[in-house]
Amino acid sequence: MTDSQRGPDGQPPVPGGVDPAARQPDPPSGSWVMPDGRPGQGYGPTLSYQPASTGSGRTVLIIAGVLGLVVVLGLGVAIGFVVGRGGRSSESTGASATGKTATYSMNAVTNACDLVDPTPLTEWSPTPKGAPEHRETRPSIYGSGGLKCDVGYTSATAGEFPMNKAGMRVEAEFTNGTAPPYYDHWMHADVATPEAQSASGAVTGIGNQGYWYSEVRGNLVADMAYVVCVQDGNVSVRVQISLVREQGSPAVRRDELDSIAKSQVRRTLDGLREK
């Protein structure tokens, strides 16, 4: 369990009522399962001719005419081939330009939390838990740089579920040259070495590659974690939503968490993309 898997309060997210089928193609839309049992060779024509029998002079003229026709056809084919190649080359250049890999930088970022929208968390816990914490590591001889933001919310102590908490951690790590993306490290920590009861699958439509991962555990209080991680160009972005839910709390749908996490990944990529 790495530090990036821990919730904002430093405690590891705990698995519980998620189906242990560890690989799913896309997150289901059902609820989290809560402790009380609720569902949480040649080309062209060949020319032939017969010499005329009326005289050698006429035969020579016919042969010359046919040869001239062959030369003209040959030139036409050659010109067509050159033009055709030129057209394909132009198309190739255009496709390459439109498919150019995006480049990202943290040069314009002074506070990582400026990239984060924590508003959705207030649906579950409305009270800010202190000031957001952020970290920016500038590129240097020691690394390509990265950033992190942690935000957290609690519930009112006099509310119905005072122990409920909600938090979000957003991380971005850069790589240069042929270095492997930090995405590989996160994927190994989350998916290749998962908790006993967890679920994961591929994320498509964002960046070059991505995955989602979820786990829930607990008894009277359920600790939930939902992760979306994406690599695009020279940056890897990981968003983790962590929830603490008392028994009896309204169910939280995984598709809702998936939508929030993906939206935050896109927001982070947009904020880091070089203009």
The kind and range of the H/E element at 256 are helix 254-272
Q: What is the mean pLDDT of the chain?
A: 74
Highest mean pLDDT among 33-42, 62-71, 255-264: 255-264
Residue-level pLDDT at 275: 83
Six-digit token pair at 270? 């947009």
Six-digit token pair at 152? 């957290």
Q: pTM, whole model, 2 decimals?
A: 0.66
Residue 264 CA: distances (Å) to CA of 10, 121, 205, 227: 21, 12, 14, 11
Residue-level pLDDT at 99: 55
Q: What is the distance, to the nearest Å, from the Cα of residue 12 to the centroid of all Cα atoms in its chain?
A: 25
Burial, 112: exposed, middle or buried (Cβ in 10 Å; 0-12, 13-18, 19+)? buried
- % of the chain surpassing 70 pLDDT: 64
**C-alpha count within 13 angstroms, C-beta hemisphere, residue 110:** 0
62-112: pLDDT as tens digits: 444 534 443 334 444 333 333 333 333 222 223 333 356 789 999 999 999
Residue-level pLDDT at 218: 83
* Residue, of 38 and 246, whose pLDDT is higher: 246
Query: Do residues 167 and 128 lie in contact, with contact meaning Cβ atoms separated by under 8 Å?
Result: no
Largest CA distance in the chain: 118
Q: Which of 58-67, 162-171, 222-231, 238-247 has the lowest mean pLDDT?
A: 58-67
Six-digit token pair at 75? 């030139």
19-32: pLDDT as tens digits: 434 444 444 444 45
Interval 221-234 mean pLDDT: 96
